């Protein structure tokens, strides 16, 4: 249920409304918008049937949220959520690019790649330390050692970092090293993991599940938001379809659909969608043209020697060329990059 407050509601009235909602066993989430402050009462709403909140002083109106996702819906918050990470804003007018290798392999390659993507205009560095590999025999990531390399590189190159968490047992450690926690496609519906990540206050990059609908993606985001963490960036990274020409099928329609349904920032990962480097530029351009707030792109200083996802990784020179074109696309749709 959404409780819209009168514009002149006093703090005392607001506190009283919050106490009443909590007293009914519902969770309270306050959203201060440009025009209105609204309170979300989330939980078993049937208790409200007997306890009308309309009569409380300071309340303008009470409305049900019709969508199954509540806190992440546009109904709950009309204004775009803008996530500020070390002064870089995701979800605002500026399109942000996150770039770097699939996995952290050694300090030299990571630092070389990081300096090059930074020079080309990327604002965040990506790199996996814990890798979700299909085969248990494939390179699984450098784990703790990789996290140290990531932080060293952040300090040396000066880019905030993104890395994936696969298991709640690693979450505390990963939070010490990263600026954004990534939840990968295979874990989008790992509800225990979502809940634990929701208890932190770190920004979360939530990737769409390989076979998940947009609604399921939003329900997963709701798990994180329900724990009080509303710094969620959604990522369309391609879904599994009958098509085999590309690794996954980039669902470009997900961008405008998500922008309509939710206030959260939406980014696109053309690298995992394409599965081949030469398809990354056209998909990246389409993503920005369709309204994405950012991109997640795999770049490797030496893709031929990459231990993971080399075929889809751009060489730094190609990434630099792409960034120049993307700037023009961003400008054409009223954004900056």
Binding-site ranges for ligand PEP (CB under 6 A):
102, 128, 132, 184-185, 207, 237, 269, 272
Tell me whether residue 112 or residue 269 sits nearer to ligand PEP (CB atom).
Answer: 269
Partner from Mn ion, ligand PEP, none binding residue 236, C-beta < 5-8 Å depending on class = none
Give the phi and the psi of residue 106 in degrees, each rounded to 5. -160, 165
Tell me whether residue 39 or residue 129 sits nearer to ligand PEP (CB atom).
Answer: 129
The Cα 336–Cα 294 span in angstroms is 11
307 lies in the site for Mn ion, by CB under 5 A: no
Tell me whether residue 75 or residue 269 sits nearer to Mn ion (CB atom).
Answer: 269
The nearest distance, CB 120 to Mn ion, in angstroms, is 19
Partner from ligand PEP, Mn ion, none binding residue 185, C-beta < 5-8 Å depending on class = ligand PEP
Closest-by-Cβ residue to ligand PEP is 184
Give the phi and the psi of residue 195 in degrees, each rounded to 5. -65, -45
Q: At what angle do helices 107-120 and 316-332 cross, to 10 degrees?
A: 30
Tell me whether residue 269 or residue 293 sits nearer to ligand PEP (CB atom).
Answer: 269
The nearest distance, CB 49 to ligand PEP, in angstroms, is 42
Give the phi and the psi of residue 285 in degrees, each rounded to 5. -65, -45
The nearest distance, CB 58 to ligand PEP, in angstroms, is 45
Cβ burial of 192 (10 Å; 0-12, 13-18, 19+) is exposed
| Piece of 21-29, 112-120, 174-182, 306-314 that binds Mn ion (CB under 5 A) | 306-314
Number of chain residues interacting with Mn ion (CB under 5 A): 2
Tell me whether residue 59 or residue 307 sits nearer to Mn ion (CB atom).
Answer: 307
Among residues 220, 309, 316, 323, the one that binds Mn ion under rule CB under 5 A: 309
The nearest distance, CB 227 to ligand PEP, in angstroms, is 21
Tokens for 276, please give them.
């081949």
The Cα 88–Cα 82 span in angstroms is 10
The nearest distance, CB 129 to Mn ion, in angstroms, is 13
Tell me whether residue 128 or residue 303 sits nearer to ligand PEP (CB atom).
Answer: 128
CB distance 33 to 79 below 8 Å = yes
List of residues 6+ apart from 160 with CB closer than 8 A:
85, 86, 88, 123, 124, 125, 154, 179, 180
Among residues 14, 39, 71, 102, the one that binds Mn ion under rule CB under 5 A: 102
The Cα 55–Cα 60 span in angstroms is 9
Sheet with 27-32, strands from edge to edge, namely: 27-32, 37-42, 2-5, 59-63
Tokens for 265, please give them.
């920032």
The nearest distance, CB 272 to Mn ion, in angstroms, is 6
Please give the distance of CA 95 from its chain centroid, rounded to a whole number: 14
The nearest distance, CB 235 to ligand PEP, in angstroms, is 7
Tell me whether residue 102 or residue 330 sits nearer to Mn ion (CB atom).
Answer: 102
List the end-to-end C-alpha distance of the chain, in Å, as a whole number: 38
What residues line the site for Mn ion (CB under 5 A)?
102, 309
């Amino acid at each position: 249920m959404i409780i819209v407050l009168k514009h002149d509601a006093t703090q005392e009235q607001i506190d009283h409304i919050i106490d009443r909602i909590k007293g009914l066993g519902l969770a309270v989430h306050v959203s201060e918008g440009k025009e209105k402050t609204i309170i979300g009462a989330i939980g078993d709403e049937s208790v409200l049937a007997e306890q009308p909140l309309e009569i409380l002083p300071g309340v303008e109106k009470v409305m049900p949220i019709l969508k199954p996702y509540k806190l992440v819906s546009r109904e709950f918050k009309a204004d775009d959520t803008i996530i500020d990470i070390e002064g870089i804003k995701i979800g605002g007018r500026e399109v942000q690019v996150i770039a770097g290798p699939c996995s952290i392999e050694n300090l030299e390659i990571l630092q070389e790649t990081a300096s090059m993507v930074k020079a080309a205009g990327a604002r965040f560095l990506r790199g996996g330390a814990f890798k979700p590999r299909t085969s248990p025999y494939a390179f699984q990531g450098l784990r703790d050692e990789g996290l140290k390399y990531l932080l060293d590189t952040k300090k040396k190159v000066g880019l905030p970092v993104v890395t994936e968490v696969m298991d709640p047992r690693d979450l505390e450690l990963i939070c010490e090293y990263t600026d954004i926690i990534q939840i990968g496609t295979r874990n989008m519906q790992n509800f225990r993991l979502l809940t634990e990540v929701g208890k932190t206050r770190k920004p979360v990059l939530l990737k769409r599940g390989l076979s998940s609908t947009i609604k399921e993606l939003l329900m997963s985001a709701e798990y994180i938001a329900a724990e009080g963490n509303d710094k969620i960036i959604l990522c369309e990274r391609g879904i599994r379809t009958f098509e085999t020409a590309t690794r996954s099928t980039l669902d470009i329609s997900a961008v405008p659909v998500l922008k309509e349904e939710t206030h959260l920032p939406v980014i696109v990962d053309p690298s995992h969608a394409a599965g081949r480097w030469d398809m990354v530029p056209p998909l990246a351009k389409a993503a920005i043209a369709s309204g994405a707030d950012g991109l997640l792109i795999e770049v490797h200083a030496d893709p031929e020697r990459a231990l993971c996802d080399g075929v889809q990784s751009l060489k730094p020179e190609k990434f630099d060329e792409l960034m120049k074109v993307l700037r023009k696309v961003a400008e054409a749709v009223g954004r900056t990059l």
